[in-house]
Structures are given as C-alpha cells and as structure tokens.
Amino acid sequence: MHALGATIRAERLEIVTDSERLAEIGPAWDELWTRTDSLVFQGHAWISAWWQTLPDRDNRQLRIGLVWNGDRLDAVMPLCLHRRRGLRFLEWAANSYSDYEDILAGPDCPTAALERLWAELTGLGGFDIALLNRLQPGARMRELAASRARPTLVPNHRSEVSHRVTGAWTSGAAWFDSQSKKARQNYRRGQSAMSEFGSARFRLLPEDEPLAPVLARLSALKRKWLDARGHTSALFDEGDVALPALVQALARAGVLRIFVIEVDGLIVAISINFEHHGTLMAFVTTYDPAFERASPGTLLMSDYIMWAFDRGLHTVDFLCGAEAFKQRFGTDAVTLGTFVAPGSLRGRAVLALDHARHALAQRRQRAASATVTTASNQAR
C-alpha cells in the first residue's frame, strides 16, 4: 500500500508515504503548482530533490497530504515525520532547505477540505509535536490554524525574520544613489581593492554554462566559511548531491539566477538566486576569504541588487536569517511565524515546559528592564 485514502463529499483525501507514489503524483502536482504560480519551495521538483538526496532518510518518513477533486489535484500539504533530539516531529518536508513554507492549494480549495486533510494526517499519530515554521503573513497554513481544524495549531514564541530590499527605484543606479555616502564610498573602495588582485568582473551566468564547476567552487568556499566558525552543513559536503539537485530544480523551473564576481576567471564571490513574481530571492551566497580586503560578498550583493532594479524587479529578498549584512541592506523586515500542536502526552509536556521557560525568561527580561529604568530615573 502506498497511501491511505478517504472519500468525503466531492473531495478525495490521500496521504503519500513512499517514494514510488511521490514520483507518480508528479504531473498532477506540477499542474497545481503551475496553476497557482507558487514558490519553488512548494514544488514537486524541490520536495523530490530533497527526498532523493537525504543522507539520513532512516530518521524520516513522508507524510504528504493531498486533496483530489476527481482527477484534479487541488491541494498538497507536504509534511514528513522527523526523529531528532529524542522526539518525533511532524514538520514540513524539505524544511532544512526551504525558507517560506506553506500548503500548496488552489484558491477554490475550501478550508473545510484542508481541515479534514489535517485531521487525517495527524490522526495517523506517530509524532510528539507538530512544528510548522517559516510561515509568511499571508500563508494558507495560517488560515488553517485560525479555523476549527483539530488538533489545534497555536502560535509558538519562536520566529524568524526575512529581510528585503523594496522601493520604487527605476534603475540600479537610482537605488545606488539612494544609499548613504559611506555605503557608496565603501562600494567604490571595494571595487578599487578588487582591481588590485587582477581583472575583476560581475556577471550573471548564462543558462548554458555548466553548473558542476560553479557549484563545486561554491561548496568549497562555503566549507571554508563554516570551518572557520566551527559549523558544518551536509548541503556543502564534498561530493554531496543535494545542492546540485536543488539547483537543477530551480533551473528546470526557469527561475535560476547565478551571479558571480570573478578575478582573472577565478570565482571569488557567488550567489545562487532565483526570480519569482518580480522578486529576486537570494538562496545561498558565499565568497573567498582570501579576497576579504575587497569585501567581495558586499560587492556582489550591491551588484545583483542593481541588476534586479535594472531588470524592472521590485524586491530583492534575502530569505530567512537576521545576519548583519542582510539588515544593513534591507529596507523591510517580515516576521515568519511558527505554529505547534501536541501529538502525544510527551509532546504536550515538552510544549508546556517550553512555554513555561519562555514565560520565565520574559518576566526576567521585564524585571531587568524595569531595574535599568528605575536606576536611570534616580540618576537624573
């Protein structure tokens, strides 16, 4: 058996739990994804690339919910079970590689059908905590959380931030001229320093350029950066196939945009981006620390921001993360929400303890702020 099914009214619900069925539903999923003009993170190619290249698949199980209307697929709730830290989580599929998570659903798919699908997905049990994160303000999953869906999803104190560059600039030069005098001077100094290393140029890779050497260079640079900070990431391990598979998914969707700065043909900064609905999204960015004096990462960001506004795009989105360089460039910040629901007594206890710890930390923070305020007032 691939899946569990139930027929309710006009909709038929299905839960996909294995690789064979995941592959079979590809055409219907692709049609829904195209019909809704959704982000690549909700696409079948993205989810499949993640699943096919997982190094720890033994710790996970697919649990992808579908709403069918006859032969037409109307909704996908791409979830999976993941065992970590001694707990079983029900979370988004491809969560570790995706930034904006959500249900993929047509506008005519009723919330009631999604409520039934959620009940069916969670009714199978096997998890301690449902943890659904990285939800943008308009996410369809938020609508489900606000409905009568059971088990009830409640907001969690954990959140992430997405920084973006937005504005009514008519060209890249107009955006650059709007920057502070210091920022413009730093850019010019960086260009001058870069020229001391050799002949430097910024470019967008053409569609027919082989990706393997570029991705190998990116992974090598990223490993250097991670090693220097004592971090690791399986996505950039030498010989890992996940990153090429994800980038190929972007390329097949026709949205891939890879920007580089080269010195005498050597890539010293690289950014894997993609374009969607007038927005340029920065997926992975890195640079060669040997050229750090010229700030190649900052130069590259400035260059692709100018490229985006020259192209007529209205937003550059740095996706998840509150890194200082994103805050420095960003003109807008969006908070991405997290919702949770218990799936077992153990999960209920863990969530209750987490809530209590967070409440205690907030009380201590308020007390510390009050103490500082009182001391300041007394000093006046």
DSSP secondary structure string, 70-85? TTEEEEEEEEEEEEET
Determine the Cα–Cα distance for residues 234 and 211; give it in Å rounded to an integer: 19
Determine the Cα–Cα distance for residues 357 and 338; give it in Å rounded to an integer: 17
Tell me which DSSP letter residue 289 carries. G
The predicted pLDDT at position 276 comes to: 95
213 preceded by a cis bond (ω within 30 of 0): no
Query: Which among 292, 304, 51 is positioned nearest to 175, based on CA atoms?
Result: 304
Determine the Cα–Cα distance for residues 21 and 24; give it in Å rounded to an integer: 5
Q: Tell me if 130 sits within 8 A of 25, measured CB to CB.
A: no
The predicted pLDDT at position 379 comes to: 56
Please list the pLDDT of the chain residue by residue as tens digits (380 residues): 445 444 444 689 999 999 999 999 999 999 999 999 999 999 999 999 999 999 888 899 999 999 999 999 999 999 999 999 899 999 999 999 999 999 999 999 999 999 999 999 999 999 999 999 999 999 999 999 999 899 999 999 999 999 999 999 999 999 999 999 999 999 999 999 999 999 999 999 999 999 999 999 999 999 998 888 888 888 898 888 999 999 999 999 999 999 999 999 999 999 999 999 999 999 999 999 999 999 999 999 999 999 999 999 999 999 998 888 899 999 999 999 999 999 999 999 999 999 999 889 888 888 777 665 555 555 55
Query: Residue 117: what residue type?
Result: L
DSSP secondary structure string, 115-128? HHHHHHHHHT---S
Residue given tokens 């690549």 in the structure block: 40
Q: What is the CA radius of gyration of the chain?
A: 23
The predicted pLDDT at position 229 comes to: 86
Determine the Cα–Cα distance for residues 65 and 206; give it in Å rounded to an integer: 37
Locate the DSSP E strands across the chain.
Answer: 3-8, 11-16, 60-69, 72-84, 87-92, 104-105, 129-135, 154-155, 160-166, 200-204, 256-263, 266-276, 279-287, 315-320, 332-342
The predicted pLDDT at position 370 comes to: 62
Q: Find the angle CA(228)-CA(234)-CA(236) to the nearest 5 degrees.
A: 65
Determine the Cα–Cα distance for residues 234 and 241; give it in Å rounded to an integer: 10
Query: Which among 190, 223, 196, 199 is positioned nearest to 298, based on CA atoms?
Result: 190
Q: Which two tokens stand for residue 229?
A: 């900070």
The predicted pLDDT at position 134 comes to: 96
Query: Which among 64, 133, 65, 138 is positioned nearest to 101, based on CA atoms?
Result: 133
